[in-house]
Structure formats: C-alpha cells, structure tokens
Structure 1
Amino acid sequence: MKKGFVSLLAVASIMVGILSLSVVSASASNVKRVSASYVKKYGIKHRFYRLTKNTKASIYYYVNEPGTNQDALTRRANISIPKGTVIDSQSTGSKNGKKVLYGTGVDLSYTLKHKLLGNNRLVGGPTFAINYSANTVRIKRPGYMLPYGNNVLYSGGLTGFSQFGTYDSNAVKLTSNGYVEYYKYTNRRAAENIISAYQKQTVPTSYAKINRSVVRGNVMYLYYGHKLKGVSNSKVRAKGPYQYRLTITNQHTPYQLDNDISASLYAIGNQKFFTFVTVSKE
C-alpha cells in the first residue's frame, strides 16, 4: 500500500473511526454541560477551499466484503472535481514532493460523489486527496456551514446524544459544496457502506441544492427549490429557487459525554438535533 494512501486513511480514522470507538463507551448517565470557551478551544474546525479549475483528485472508498458485514475492501479512483466546488481540508501532507490537501471532514454531496465515481461504491464520508496548487483558493467558512463539527446533525437532541450508539437517529448533512441531505435511520447496512457507525446510510432519503443561506444571530436559514422530505421545512414562495426554507437554530448548549466527546444542541424547525463538536480524546 502506498505511503500517501496510508496517511489519508490514518487521517480519515481520526474523524470517522474515532466515533466508532465512542459507541463502546457511551453512557446515558454521564452527560454534563461544557462552556463555549471549551468548544472554541477544542472544537473541530475546518479550512475551506474553492477550486478555480477542474482539479484532478484521488478519492478513496470502501466496499463491503462479500458475505460479511466488514468494510475490508478499499479502492481508489482517479477523478476530476469540477471548477467552483467548495471542499474542506483539515489536513495537509506531501506526495511525490507536492503539497496535498486531504479531505476527511465535511463531506461532498452524494450527487457529486455518485457522478464522479459512477457505479463504484461510495465512502460514508469524504476521503480524497488533491494536489495543493493555484487551483485551490482558501475561502471563509460558507454561510451554510456550522461553526464546529463535520456538519452532520443527528435527531434526538440531548436524549439522542446521551444514548449515543443505541438511539435510532435520523441525520441531516450539510455538504461543503452546498447541499442539504436527509438520511432516514435504518438498522440495515446500506449497500454503499455507512455514513458513520451511528447512522448506517450513505444514500440520502432526500436532498436539495442550497440556493441561498442567511445567518441571523444563532439562526441559519437555508433556501432551496423543492420540498425536502423528512424535515420540517416551510414553503415561503410559490415558485423559483427559494420556494422552501429550512430553519436551523443553534441553541448554544454544548454537552459532554463521559468527560469525552462533546456535542452542541440544535433545532431544525420543531425537531431536536445534536452535532458533534469535539472528538474523543482517546
């Protein structure tokens, strides 16, 4: 296995695999409030880049080993990510003497990954590498991105977080390239792997392209052109790209589980959600 490949999978394990470890130690009784300063110091932060040209990349994905529940088979595909795509990179490295951006945090949209990979299997989160060049321009955090975490919100609020690993939670994912996706919980392993150990789907139940985002205080409004099934969104226009609005409210109430992983509580419409804002210290 190539060195660059090993490095990328190691980085990916920090953001995805570490959540799998947390399932084992989760307890419903050891949840406590943490301060905003704690989240600011230890929170999962991101660096966003916009591609100014079509950019070659290597994307890695797992396929289920036939006849088992293991994700033992790993594949690499060479792709070209379209000009204008916004990507997240939390880690950099080098390969063949060139600086490389590793994408292992905020995901790309299902539609883009499906288009790029064709009939290949999809990884639950972003695992790709691109050469850092003039094609990649650092930008501010897009308005449709949350301040901390990997931008996957799980249903259940504080109850869901306190029962992490056992609570049947649906998920809302906000992607770096501007999609909102809804994943209905299923106890069945999806054919295209998993979004995490906690939410076993990679194929969204519904999704929409975000055409506008507005942030006012602790509330984020997302606008798109058709109804997003599974969440409480509002129809605010008769037609056009801003027909529906999704309201995401940061309740500014971070909690920590077992003195370990932390989450922030959100509301989407009248539904309670949480999102991980710090990873396990183990």
Structure 2
Amino acid sequence: MKKQMMRWVLGLVAFAMVSIGGMTAQAASPMVKIGGVSVERSFLNIGTYYQATRAAKATVTYYKTSKPDTQYTKVITLPKGTIMSGWIIPKHKLAKGQWGNELSLVDGNLNYTLVNQGAKKGYLASGVVSYALKKFKKVKTPAYMPTYSYGDLYLGGAKATRESDSQVKQIVRITSNGYVELIHQNKRTNSDGAFAGKPSSQAKIVKTKVKGATRYLYLNTKMKGVKTTRVGKKSAYQYRLALKNLHQPQNLSSYDDDRGEIYVFDSLYAVGGVTYYTLICNGSDIED
C-alpha cells in the first residue's frame, strides 16, 4: 500500500516538472547517504508544506470501499491555519473547461474527521485538491512530522519491514495538520483503504518539543492503544507522546531489469516505547 502511494506521489512530481514552462528535463538531484548508501535526494519523502492563511475550499474525492471505481466528489472547507503537504500542479484544464493551478495533497495527509465528516456511508476520502492557491502560504515542515516521512508509522520492527503491509495490524498516523491517529487495519476493503478508516483513538497535537532524536508531542487528550504520559492536570498540555527516531534505516532496495536499482528504505521509530517503521525513501534511476 505505501509503495503504491509513493508511485502516485512521484507521478505527480514528474507531471509538475514536465509542465512548468514546457520544460522536459530535470536537473540532477543532489545525493544523500542513508545507512551508508548514496541515493538521490529526490527519492526521499520530502514534501512541501502549505498553510491556509484563511478558510479555503477544497474538493475531496470519495470512493466506495466495496467498489473503488464508484466515486463522487464534495467540497469541504479547510479551516484557517490548516497545514497540508502536497504539490502545486501547474496550470491545466480543470472541471467545466476552466484552466488554473491546483494544490494536490498526499492521501491520508489530513485527519480523518476533517475530510470524512459527512461522507456517504461506505465511502472514504481519497484525493484532496484546492484551487484557492492565494489562500495558502509555503511553510517549513512541522516539527511533529517524522524525518523524511509522510506520517504513517506501521507497527513492527526490522523484521516487519521485510514482510507484506497486509501483515501489519495497526498504524500510528501523524497528520500534516497536527493530529495523532491510531488506526487498525480493515481487511474487508482493498489494500489502499486498509488504513483509511476511522481511528480507534485520536488526539490533537498542541505543542512539540524536540530533544535529540526524540519528538515530544503534547496532546489535548489521552490516547488508547498508544502510551501517553500525563504531564499536567489542568493545561492543554496534559498528555505527552514520545516519538523517538532509532536511527536504524532498513535497506529494502532491489534490482529490476527495466528500472535498474530500486532504492527503498524504512526508518524505525519508538512510538510510546513500541517499535514502528515508516517509509522514508522510494525511487529508482529510471522512473516508470
């Protein structure tokens, strides 16, 4: 599932690069090292973050979990201050024959309640786009986001990274707009929707402190299924979740006759003391 998402993301980036000013070539990406292996920086999960300076409309596509090809769209309002990670797709033909730019974000980037509230029964949110680009400004990556990650942390250690995602029982999702969600796998839907369902527990991040390899996420409520520490009694910062980067990148790279070397790396984290992994790199010398 996570690898399918990354192919979709890389496709958006490629489209944007080809479309800007009619350019067809891409400048060479600088190299970085992960676990002693040199990879192009563009292979890393490095999103660009945008914050709504005012309430902004966005169009959400919903698909039927039992029949993914059955879809509908609905316009929602993103509150002022909402942070989303995505790419600006240059001017192209929009709905109703109009032309314009489009801000498209990664699936699962916003919290479940915001994008799924009021959705038809049996449907889940998929793509989210906004055409109100004047209402967004570019911002730095939020401190609560894991390094080179889009925020999905899968339960399991080094061994689990080499198994199918279908074996994962649950994920902890750090959303771009500052929520922590615990989501259990739904085996009754397709692989892309396995972790798109309603969280069993969730909390708003109200403050973040970074100390060494650990991000301390201060939450507005206690979470079930994830170890949170109570650090106050009355303030909005009563509970704290520790998110520690274990700095143990897992090299899952392979070779393909058509694409050459395919670079895939997961990073291990301790979430409330329990080991999870998150995809941080996915790319090849010859993209699809």
Q: How does 1:130-149 map to 2 (within 5 A)?
A: 130-149=130-149
**Aligned partner of residue 160 in structure 2, secondary structure:** helix
Q: Distance in 2 between matches of 1:97 and 1:146?
A: 36
1:84 aligns with 2:78: no
Contact conserved, 1:44 with 1:277, CA < 8 A, in 2?
yes
Task: Say which of 271, 275, 280 aligns to 1:272.
Answer: 275
Q: How does 1:26-41 map to 2 (within 5 A)?
A: 34-35=35-36, 38=39, 40=41
Q: Distance in 1 between matches of 2:164 and 2:42?
A: 23
1:239 corresponds in structure 2 to 234
Query: Is there any run of 5+ residues in structure 2 with no aligned partner, and where?
Result: 12-33, 255-261
1:262 corresponds in structure 2 to 265
1:14 corresponds in structure 2 to 8
Deviation at 1:105, TM superposition (A): 5.1
Deviation at 1:182, TM superposition (A): 0.4
**Aligned partner of residue 113 in structure 1, secondary structure:** helix
1:225 aligns with 2:220: yes
Contact conserved, 2:51 with 2:83, CA < 8 A, in 1?
yes
More moved, 36-45 vs 55-64? 36-45
1:252 corresponds in structure 2 to 247
Task: Say which of 204, 208, 217 aligns to 2:199.
Answer: 204
**Aligned partner of residue 277 in structure 2, secondary structure:** strand
TM-score by length of 2: 0.76
Q: What code does the residue aligned with 1:64 have?
A: T
Q: Distance in 2 between matches of 1:71 and 1:97?
A: 28
Q: What code does the residue aligned with 2:8 have?
A: I
Contact conserved, 1:145 with 1:151, CA < 8 A, in 2?
yes
1:110 aligns with 2:105: no
Q: Once the two structures are aligned, what percentage of the paired residues are identical?
A: 28
Q: Distance in 1 between matches of 2:5 and 2:197?
A: 20
- Residue-pair matches, total: 246
1:56 aligns with 2:57: yes
Deviation at 1:15, TM superposition (A): 3.8
1:214 corresponds in structure 2 to 209
Tell me which structure has the larger Cα radius of gyration. Answer: 2
Deviation at 1:73, TM superposition (A): 1.0
Contact conserved, 1:64 with 1:72, CA < 8 A, in 2?
no
Q: What code does the residue aligned with 1:253 have?
A: Q
Contact conserved, 2:52 with 2:82, CA < 8 A, in 1?
yes
1:231 and 1:62, CA in 2 relative to 1: closer, same or farther beyond 3 A?
same
Which fold has the larger relative contact order, with Cα–Cα distance below 8 Å and residues 6 or more apart in sequence? 1
Q: Distance in 1 between matches of 2:141 and 2:130?
A: 20
Quote the RMSD (CA, aligned, Å): 2.8
Deviation at 1:61, TM superposition (A): 1.8
Deviations 1:121-164 (A, max 9, x none): 222x5x11112532111111111112212110001021211113
1:139 and 1:131, CA in 2 relative to 1: closer, same or farther beyond 3 A?
same
Deviation at 1:79, TM superposition (A): 2.2
Query: Is there any run of 5+ residues in structure 1 with no aligned partner, and where?
Result: 1-9, 18-32
Contact conserved, 2:104 with 2:130, CA < 8 A, in 1?
yes
**Aligned partner of residue 157 in structure 1, secondary structure:** coil
Q: Distance in 2 between matches of 1:178 and 1:11?
A: 21
1:165 and 1:84, CA in 2 relative to 1: closer, same or farther beyond 3 A?
closer
Q: Hey, which of these two has a bigger chunk of strand by percent?
A: 2
Deviation at 1:49, TM superposition (A): 0.9
